[in-house]
Amino acid sequence: MSDNFSSQPPGPEEQRPQEPPQLLPVPEQQQWDTNYYLPIEDEEPYPESSADTAFPDAEKSGPKTSAILKEVAETLVLAVLIFFTVRGAIQNFKVEGSSMEPSLHNNQYLLVNKLSYASLDVDGVVDMVLRIPVAAASRLGIGEEEPAGNPTATAQDKRFFLFGQPSRGDIIVFRFPRDPSRDFIKRVVALPGERVEVKAGVVYVNGQRLDEPYILENPTYSRDSAVVPPNNYFVLGDNRNNSSDSHVWGPVPLENVVGRAWFTYWPWKEFGAIQAAVVSAIRP
């Protein structure tokens, strides 16, 4: 027998090398968890905790909320402007007392048109325009000093009425000359520069008797003849014997006139526009 085949078991140095055990292939998309030796799948990174990712509708609702707030603010501003515009042109008024019977009644509610007699002081505007260069030259030390007043101003200021001036027969609301905190309502009887007189129960303007079908009864008082001052109006109540008016305390300055009684809205049976009376003069 050959020496290569011995009956003795081979020594340690002669033992065959052991091949390592074959492991099952791991899929590429898996990784081994070193703690539990179990395969786990790859996961996407956990989303960042931000307001935009946590609340995906926040970005969409933001512009919408801003637009709504903008519309609300614009609506409020427009409402305020309309309120002050209307308030500057129209004012409500409550009739108190019976001085305007039978035309107007106690507790009757009216709308007053405050723009009816809107006017400009022509002399004042011209004077202001002429003073501008004089004032500028005075400040620069050129020419004469600015005068303290207007020496050429006359008692009758020239006024430009945008929609017309008070007329005879108009019912007007005005601030009581003796107490401007109170508003009165009366009818215009005489205009600036006219001579008015009350005698024997009749009103005379410039010597002519007035035909007044709207009054409750003829006045039982008399008033001496007098000329209505510039920019003033002589007013009387339709209930002549129960009215505090110009026959007691004098004419009403134009600056005290609030406006013309324009519309009545309460009570409902009186609902409608208030028409000015046509007052005709009759020869005595």
Q: Are residues 213 and 154 in the same domain?
A: no
Question: Is 141 among the domain residues?
Answer: yes
How far is residue 261's CA from residue 273's CA, in Å, rounded to a whole number?
9
pLDDT at res. 149: 42
Structural domain range at position 174: 91-118+163-282
What is the domain-level CATH number for residue 258?
2.10.109.10
**Which portions of the chain are predicted below pLDDT 50?**
1-2, 5, 32-33, 36-37, 51, 143-156
End position of a domain, from candidates 105, 139, 161: 161
pLDDT at res. 165: 92
Q: Are residues 154 and 190 in the same domain?
A: no
Question: Is 204 among the domain residues?
Answer: yes
Question: Is 168 among the domain residues?
Answer: yes
How far is residue 190's CA from residue 233's CA, in Å, rounded to a whole number?
6
Q: Any bridge partners for residue 111, and if so which?
A: 92, 263
End position of a domain, from candidates 101, 131, 161: 161
Q: Are residues 253 and 206 in the same domain?
A: yes
pLDDT at res. 190: 97
Question: Is 60 among the domain residues?
Answer: no
How far is residue 132's CA from residue 234's CA, in Å, rounded to a whole number?
37
Domain count of the fold of the chain: 2
> pLDDT, tens digit, for every residue of 216-237?
999 999 999 999 999 999 999 9
Please report, for residues 63, 172, 182, 210, 274, the alpha-carbon distance to residue 263 in angstroms, rounded to integers and kept in the order given.
47, 12, 20, 26, 5
Q: Are residues 213 and 236 in the same domain?
A: yes
Q: CA-based Rg of the chain, rounded to a whole angstrom?
A: 49
Question: Is 194 among the domain residues?
Answer: yes
Q: Are residues 239 and 110 in the same domain?
A: yes
Q: Are residues 217 and 129 in the same domain?
A: no
Question: Is 132 among the domain residues?
Answer: yes
Q: Are residues 133 and 272 in the same domain?
A: no
pLDDT at res. 247: 96
Question: Is 57 among the domain residues?
Answer: no
pLDDT at res. 12: 53
Helix H, strand E, coil C: the string for the chain is CCCCCCCCCCCHHHCCCCCCCCCCCCCCCEEECCCCCCEEECCCCCCCCCHHHHCCCHHHHHHHHHHHHHHHHHHHHHHHHHHHHHHHHEEEEECCCCCCCCCCCCCCEEEEECCCCCEEEHHHHHHHHHHHHHHHHHHCCCCCCCCCCCCCCCCCCCEEECCCCCCCCCEEEEEECCEEEEEEEEEEEECCCCEEEEECCEEEECCEEEECCCCCCCCCCCEEEEECCCCEEEEECCCHHHCCCHHHHCCEEHHHEEEEEEEEEECHHHCEECCCCCCEEECC
Q: Are residues 138 and 221 in the same domain?
A: no
Q: Are residues 149 and 126 in the same domain?
A: yes
Question: Is 209 among the domain residues?
Answer: yes
How far is residue 172's CA from residue 258's CA, in Å, rounded to a whole number?
8
Hey, CA dihedral for 175, 252, 250, 261, is it positive or negative?
negative
Q: Are residues 149 and 252 in the same domain?
A: no
Q: Are residues 250 and 142 in the same domain?
A: no
End position of a domain, from candidates 146, 161, 176: 161
Q: Are residues 144 and 221 in the same domain?
A: no
The letter for the amino acid at 18 is Q
How far is residue 171's CA from residue 261's CA, in Å, rounded to a whole number?
6
pLDDT at res. 64: 80
